[in-house]
Structure 1
């Protein structure tokens, strides 16, 4: 059973905040969550001199907290225990990471605008530095979740994501599907038959699926799809699968075993985050990785 002791929701005082707060309420209504922290960091260094001259010594933190309080009051009714935290620090991602550790946050919710509205730079930094699982909610996403897709590459991280997806699906009555994107060594064509290579690849992968099902009986009945990359990246194939079959949630595991923070996120999750996907993306770390 999935239970979350503490959840953090990152707000930026834009029009997506209302959707994030309402989505958080929906999560609280479906999963046992003890407490939610609605957070915002004011980067005073980015305030213009005109702002300072116009508003003088205004207590900006108090004003921001009042604004968030109004949004929470309107869109979080019926949610769970919550607290609003407003900080004034020069580095947003560092203070958010500190909050995750201080309040033992298990899940952070981030909003994401389409690429024509935002570079997504802060979101990418947060994904790389936050020591917890992250749920990315695009501005075009909806709250209705019925079909879940979990891509796997048979790594420990992807198997962890798959088991979490299965638990979530069983808990909420969702339809879960697995996909695996495989690539062929095309540089050896036509020295070897492409058809034989495809059949052999499928045979090997299906053998790995059977072995996985033996080790984790709970996923034995979950349907899976094999997709050939065929000149596209793994992330591109996953994105095409999402659009073709209209899933409502994408769950992926994060390895986090690289000592370089800028590389710990992984290329596929990074590429998917930077795409204009209109469904929530849940990027999960295992407890062992976080520790």
Structure 2
């Protein structure tokens, strides 16, 4: 897994900025981050040419004012000294498009976006970025305390699950090995189990034993770097594995959920992964990281399908 050195953090000059700056502070102190780019997007800065002729400094003044406001927020909520370099950027256009363009130009490793309480627009923006970004995405709910010492990693023992767990292990290392990582597999008893002659309870044990066997094989392919991992197995009972994941996260008081994006497939929704999509929709109080190998974003056809 590549190291996270360049981060983009969205600021919208609202109360949410306090949470974002505090997380920037946390990331800069507790990780290998070298550059933090704060970005504010002005959605409508279209000014007629005739007006610009009369007021040639108008755009520059607007951008300068925004940068000043961003810097004031930064100074208000940041604490201590950092090795990382902080940059303040104002861009114009549609929010998702502007952030993705900036991410590509600056070769960003991680996008950090805030999520307001009960704000559907925040969830929609996060989904759009998660689908199209060529790097990982961290979604921070408003008011979240910047901390990652209890991490839940949902796993189906696939390659994208491996990337998510490796990222969690990296975080644990940077956190002086004090981070607790719980690897959760949610299994389902398949329809038709009764044709085997076993009861529901008996076949539940069959599925769990299979999950335990798969986990042992999975974990042997990963360098855990001495970090202790706890494996848990949850039976899905309502045909929605994401609710089992969120329930487990709350049970262990997780302050982060890390999951892998699936990679390229024929349709946009499955490009991100249906579980990751669903977690973005449902998880509104725990930071959620969608891990993607850098550069592995949707191709042009996938982009068109999303429009």
Q: Is the 8 A contact 1:213 1:219 kept in 2?
A: no
1:195 is matched with which residue: 183, 190, 201?
Answer: 201
Distance in structure 1 (CA, Å) of the matches to 2:122 and 2:192: 36
Q: Deviations over 1:202-257 (max 9, x none)?
A: 12111111112322252785210000001241111001111122111111111121
- Aligned-residue RMSD, C-alpha: 2.7
Aligned to 1:33: 33
Partner of 2:68: 66
- 1:223 aligns to what SS in structure 2? strand
Given candidates 193, 212, 217, the residue that maps to 1:211 is 217
Structure 1 ranges of 4+ moved more than 3 A: 116-119, 186-192, 259-263, 287-291
Kept after mapping to 1: 8 A contact 2:132/2:297: no
Q: Distance in 2 between matches of 1:248 and 1:192?
A: 39
**Given the alignment of the two structures, is residue 251 of structure 1 paired with residue 258 of structure 2, yes or no?**
yes
Verify: 1:140 aligned to 2:147, yes or no: no
What SS does structure 2 have at the residue aligned with 1:73? helix
Aligned partner of 1:121 in structure 2 is: 124
State how far apart, in whole Å, the 1-side matches of 2:219 and 2:251 are.
Answer: 26
What is residue 76 of structure 1 aligned with on the other side? Answer: 78
C-alpha spacing 1:246/1:188, structure 2 compared with 1 (3 Å): same
Alignment check: 8 A CA contact 1:3 1:31 kept: no
User: Aligned residue pairs: how many?
Assistant: 283
TM-score, normalised with respect to structure 2: 0.83
Structural mapping, 1:1-291, within 5 Å: 3-44=3-44, 59-77=61-79, 78-79=81-82, 80-89=84-93, 91-115=94-118, 118=121, 120-172=123-175, 173=177, 174-189=179-194, 192-218=198-224, 221-287=228-294, 289=296
TM-score, normalised via structure 1 length:
0.88
From the superposition, tell whether residues 118 and 145 of structure 1 become closer, same or farther in structure 2 (CA, over 3 Å). Answer: same
SS in 2 for 1:274: helix
Where 2:8 maps in the other structure, the secondary structure is strand
- What is the alpha-carbon distance in structure 1 between the residues aligned to residue 152 and residue 158 of structure 2? 17
Give the CA deviation at 1:28: 0.5
1:140–1:45: structure 2 CA closer, same or farther, 3 Å change rule?
same
How far apart, CA to CA, are the structure 1 residues paired with 2:224 and 2:250? 27
**CA contact 1:115–1:274 (8 Å) conserved in 2:** no
Cα deviation 1:118-139 (Å, max 9, x = unaligned): 5622222122122110111101
How far apart are 1:46 and its partner, in Å? 9.8
Mark the runs of 5 or more structure 2 residues left unpaired by the alignment.
48-57, 299-307
Structure 1 gap segments, 5+ residues each: 48-56
